[in-house]
Amino acid sequence: MPKKTILITGGAGFIGTHLAEKLLKSGEEVFVIDNLSTGSLKNIAHLKKNKKFHFTKDTILNRKKLENLIKKSDQIYHLAAAVGVKTIMEKPLESFLNNIKGIEIVLELASKYKKPILFTSSSEVYGKNDSLPFKEEDDRVYGSAYNDRWGYALSKGADEFLALAYFREKKLPVVVVRLFNVIGPRQTEAYGMVVPRFIKQALSGQPITVYGTGFQTRCFTDIEDVVEALVKLMNHPKAPGQIFNLGSEEEITIRELAQKIKKLTGSKSKIIFIPYTKVYGSGFEDMEHRKPDLTKIKKLINYQPKVTLEESLKKIIDYFHEN
């Protein structure tokens, strides 16, 4: 098979660097554009040695730079976005505009040059819907417009709408993937992600801080399973124009997660509980449970997550020890 040239927007971030690694291993040429807002040069230091890896430090809002990159690419993975509840709560305007304007430019140029694109949406789009597990066609239920917390979900929801409209009206091959709590080495704790935050606290002997009651549940997905599925979806002829949940069905409460991490790190840290309002201000709402229905992705690409939560946590703990 002839090797492809692939563009990853946001490719210096957590998921993007693992995706770049996988594509480079298969011999593809990889271009990354990232403004390093939440990504970092440290994340891609090991990739820079590869002659087929090319990095541009810029924002995707720079149309000229992006156009040059899209022109020479065969496929585009659009990952660049303002990410994490903390980022969205702290900079609601910038985050919202970044996510909406960014995809608008990416889609317009992808359509101009007829380049297939995969867009990473989020389980957040289901909002306060409580009919579990979430199916792709389920309703999206959001809270008050006065609550900044819903800005991320809304921006990703609008992005999905734009992506599907490009598919319907312009025949642009677009795949939308809703990711459910991806974890792995290189994910930073700086923007509110729970697993790296707990591990860092456990390893440094600080209290492990559980927000809320800790009875909320999540399904964590290992990065290896995620990047493998992203590549398969991008290359499947029946995927364009569709939305896919991508995650794991292994559900755990956040208090159990804290206990597991404490045990795996051999930490003496205390586990303490902090009300959401203390962390994010009054009126903050969280989704109690989030679980994907994976029927659709299993059927199309035979998806089956292979890495267990415990294996994934051990890899991340090793990564923290090494760094």
Ligand X SMILES: NC(=O)c1ccc[n+]([C@@H]2O[C@H](COP(=O)([O-])OP(=O)(O)OC[C@H]3O[C@@H](n4cnc5c(N)ncnc54)[C@H](O)[C@@H]3O)[C@@H](O)[C@H]2O)c1
Question: Is 312 a residue that touches ligand X (CB under 6 A)?
Answer: no
Q: Which is nearer to ligand X, 66 or 301 (CB)?
A: 66
Provide, rounded to whole angstroms, the least separation between the CB of residue 156 and ligand X.
Answer: 7
Contact between 13 and ligand X (CB under 6 A)? Answer: yes
Preceding omega of 92 cis (within 30 degrees of 0): no
Q: Which of 126, 142, 152, 303 is catalytic?
A: 152
Q: Is 125 in the site for ligand X (CB under 6 A)?
A: no
The residues near 107 (Cβ < 8 Å, ≥ 6 apart) are 117, 162, 163, 166, 172, 174
Q: How many CB atoms lie within 10 A of CB 2?
A: 5
Active site residue 113: no
| Under rule CB under 6 A, residue 80 binds ligand X | yes
Query: Exactly one of 20, 39, 44, 291 binds ligand X (CB under 6 A); which one?
Result: 39
Nearer to ligand X, 47 or 267 (CB): 47
| 151 is a contact residue toward ligand X (CB under 6 A) | no
> Which contiguous run of DSSP H or E holds residue 183?
strand 182-183
Nearer to ligand X among residue 88 and residue 208 (C-beta): 88
Distance CA 95, CA 66 (A): 19
- Figure out which of the listed residues 73, 75, 111, 122 binds ligand X, where binding follows CB under 6 A: 122
Q: Nearer Cβ to ligand X, position 184 or 267?
A: 184
What is the SS3 assignment for 279? helix
Cβ-contact 292, 180 below 8 angstroms? yes
| Among 8, 20, 30, 33, contact with ligand X (rule: CB under 6 A) | 33
CB of 80 to ligand X, least distance (A): 4
Name the 3-class secondary structure at 20: helix
- DSSP string for 64-85: HHHHHHHHT-SEEEE-----SH
Closest contact distance (angstroms) between CB of 79 and ligand X is: 4
Query: Do residues 36 and 186 make contact, with C-beta atoms less than 8 angstroms apart?
Result: no
**How far is it between the farthest Cα atoms of the chain?**
57
Rounded to the nearest 5°, which phi and psi values hold at 3?
-80, 150
Is 196 a binding residue for ligand X by CB under 6 A? The answer is: no
* Measured distance CA(114)–CA(109) in Å, rounded: 8
Q: How many residues bind ligand X (CB under 6 A)?
A: 29
- Within 10 angstroms of residue 237's Cβ, the number of other Cβ atoms is 6
Residue span binding ligand X (CB under 6 A) among the ranges 13-21, 143-151, 273-281, 284-292: 13-21
Enumerate the active-site residues.
152
Name the residues that contact ligand X, by CB under 6 A: 9-10, 12-16, 33-39, 59-61, 79-83, 98, 102, 120, 122, 179, 181-182
